[in-house]
Structures are given as C-alpha cells and as structure tokens.
Amino acid sequence: MSPTDTAALVEPQSPPRVSPAPAGAPRRDRATSRALLAFAPALVYLVVRHIGVLILVLLAGQNNTTAHRSLTAWDGQWYLGIATGGYGSAPDWLLDAHGQRTPQTPLAFFPGYPTVTGWLTDVSWMATDTAAFVVSILAGIAGAYALVRIGTLVRGGSRRVGLILVALFAASPMGVVLSMTYSESLFCALAAWSLVFVLRRQWVWAGVLCALAGLVRPTGLALLLAVCAAAFACAVAVRRRGGLRPALRPLGGLLLAPMGMVGYLWWAGAQIRQEQGALAQLGGWSELQRDGWNSEFDGGAATLRFTGEAIARSESVHEVGTVLVLLAAVALVVVGFVRRLEWPLLAYGLGVLIMDLGSNGLMNSKARLLLPAFTLLIPVALGLAKRKPATTLTVLVAVTVVSGWFGAHALVTWPYAI
C-alpha cells in the first residue's frame, strides 16, 4: 500500500455536499398529514360507497336499466315526491303496496329526509333528485365521523377501530341504500352522533339528536329507548352521589329525546284518526302501515316462516342472502354481549334487530332495515384492528365487493321492492 493510500485511510473525509431541503417542505408534509388525518373518515366512506355504485353501474348496463333509475326506485320515488310537493301534493301515481292511494297514504313516510331535501332544493340550483343525493352523501360523511368517534370511545377502541367501523358500515350488505334517495343515510348520521353524545355523557345534545332522528325513520324508536334508558340510569346514579342538580342534564336529555318521534306520530295520527282522542291518534300511523303495506309487529312469526321457506326451497339469491344477514345479526348480538360492548350501543343495535325481526312487512326489505344497526359491527371492527394491516385490508376489500354486488343485484335483478 502506498503512502498516499495510507493517508487516504487515516485522514478524515469531507462529508458529501447535500442540497438543503426547501424551508417549507416539513411544513407542507405536516399539513398533508393533518389533512389526510382530518379527511380519512370521509375518504374511507366515499371510496367504499363509490365502489358499490360502480358495481351497480356495471350491473345496470347488463340489465337494460340505469344506475340513476335504480338509486331513485321504490321508496325513493315517495321521498322525492314529498320533497317536491309536500304531503298534500305528492304525485298521484305514487301508490301503496296494494296499488291504492288515500290522502293519508304519504304520511307513512317520516318527514325528516324529504324536508331537508326540499330545503336544499329551494336554496340551490339543484333538481330535487340531485339535492336528495347530496343530502344522502353529506349525511353519510357526517355519520362516518361519528362512527370514528364511537370507535375511539368504546372499550379497547382507537381511531383505527373507528375507520374500520366506517368501512364495514359503508359495506353493509345493503349499503347501496346509503347512496339512494332513501332516508337511511340521514337517520344513521343522527343516530350515530346521538350515541357519541351518550358515550360522552352530553345528555342534552344526545336528546336533541335523538329527537331529530325520530323525525326521519320509525327505527328512531330503538334509538329513543336506548338514549332514554342511558339518560335515566345516569340521572339515578348522579342523584345518589351528588343530589338533584347534577341529574338535571340527563333528565333534560330524557325529556328532549322523544319529542321528534312522538310529535310526528301524534300529528300524523291526528290526520288519520281525526275524531279520536290523543292517545288513539298516536296509533294512527301504525294503522296506516298495516293497511297500506301489511306491516305490523307480530313478534317474529312471519320472519320465522320466511326463513324456513327460504332455507328449504328458495332459489333466490336475494332471499337466501337476506336470511344469512339476519342470522349474522343475531350472532353479532351474542358477540356483543360476550365482548361486553357498552350497553347503550348494544341496546340500540338489539332494538333495531328486534324491530326488524318482529315485523311482518316486506320480508325482502329486512336486510335493508338492519342497516341502522351499525353498533353490532363494533366487535368485528375491534377484532380486525388487531390483525395485520394486509389482512384487514383484504377482508375489507372482499366485504366491499360482495356488498356492492349484493346491493346491485337487489336493485337491478330482484324484481320486487327492497
């Protein structure tokens, strides 16, 4: 080795010249990270729902229809008609399940969703159907942020759990309804935020959101019972510990929660049973549902018959799929009990399931009517959050594709209402 080589080994080498990073780069990176963090719930929800709509577009083209026609079908036409003309001026061609129509028939549909759609139509350049889609999309995004909050508040939860819960909700078996001119998206957003405030013990806001949800869908009864039970339990507990004053807030939520649903049922019942007393008028809406849509609570007898017939001899993918969804929901209730899911969340999900199983209405709507029972998906989200990211992503992609196909099949191949 030459002296020059030896010197090269012992003498310190000059560090390589590196161009300094732009001064604003770290700041831009932090801003991008914060933006992704802030918009993650919306992005997850929209990606899953757009995949479902894309599958619908593909299947609709193969069945000589369009995605727009499918997404505004059935009850969607009723909501659009009420949003355009109100209860008194809904188009005459809208009929009940028996092909009949009375002045009271439109009252079967709760006012929340068409009212918001009508307001948006009035203050914008949008057509009524466009406004209805915008309401559904924005409500779905709002619900996604609530689900992330629920995912962080439950026992063993985290933001990752919340984001997985958003994906599972958007990919529910009939998640396509969240993209339709139906009221499920708005109801689920209000119900989810109401439950967030229940978990945070902000009872007045929980009651207000519960009241608003009660104006959107009859499923609000399950939310009402869960919120009122939680508020009452809290009021009793704080009354024992700290006197009457700390119990005023949960009692306030308890009083606010029923106002939406009770108020609408009384008003609608007064239009249906005009000459009867106030208590009798509260049952008018149920009478309208029974006479117009054969829908009433029978304790589950019709559901059991439908399940037995579907398992024994049905050749319909939709009917068999509906039965599997119902069985899965029952199993998720058991899992929720075992995993000790917070009881207001479990009570709400169980309430939605009981209302669905106990009704003898359209059997093929039962998978759709379970959509608001999103709290039953929390144990699944908790389990997936513990898996490797690749495993979780694979499961969510598979669920999204299957959900998209099932929902699209129900709209473009299944010939009856969903």
| Secondary structure in 3-state letters for the chain | CCHHHHHHHHCCCCCCCCCCCCCCHHHHHHHHHHHHHHHHHHHHHHHHHHHHHHHHHHHHHHCCCCHHHHHCCCHHHHHHHHHHHCCCCCCCCCCCCCCCCCCCHHHHCCCHHHHHHHHHHHHCCCCHHHHHHHHHHHHHHHHHHHHHHHHHHCCCCCHHHHHHHHHHHHCCCCHHHHHCCCCHHHHHHHHHHHHHHHHCCCHHHHHHHHHHHCCCCCCHHHHHHHHHHHHHHHHHHHHHHHCCHHHHHHHHHHHHCCHHHHHHHHHHHHHHCCCCCHHHHCCHHHHHHHHHHCCCECCCHHHHHHHHHHHHHCCCHHHHHHHHHHHHHHHHHHHHHHCCCCHHHHHHHHHHHHHHHCECCCHHHHHHHCCCCHHHHHHHHHHHHCCCHHHHHHHHHHHHHHHHHHHHHHHHCCCCCC
Strand partners, 359: 297
What was the pLDDT predicted at 5? 42
In this prediction, residue 285 carries a pLDDT of 93
pLDDT attached to residue 77: 97
- The pTM assigned to this predicted structure is 0.92
Dmax of the chain from CA atoms?
Answer: 115
Segments of the chain with pLDDT less than 70: 1-25, 275-279
The rounded distance, in Å, linking the Cα atoms of 241 and 262 is 32
Between CA 355 and CA 370, with CA 71 as vertex, the angle to 5 degrees is: 15
How far is Cα 170 from Cα 407, in angstroms, rounded to an integer? 12
- Note the pLDDT tens digit of each residue in 216-238: 999 999 999 999 999 999 999 98
Q: What average pLDDT does the structure give for the chain?
A: 91
Q: Which amino acid is at 410?
A: A
Query: What's the confidence (pLDDT) of residue 8?
Result: 38
Per-residue pLDDT at 61? 93
pLDDT at residue 235 in the model: 93
Q: How far apart are CA 118 and CA 233, in angstroms?
A: 38
CA neighbor of 110 nearest in space, from 188, 169, 192, 182 = 182
Give me the pLDDT at residue 17, please.
Answer: 55
User: Which amino acid makes up residue 259?
Assistant: M
Residue 355 CB: number of other CB atoms within 10 A?
18
At 25 the pLDDT is 61
How many beta carbons lie within 10 A of that of residue 12, not counting itself? 5
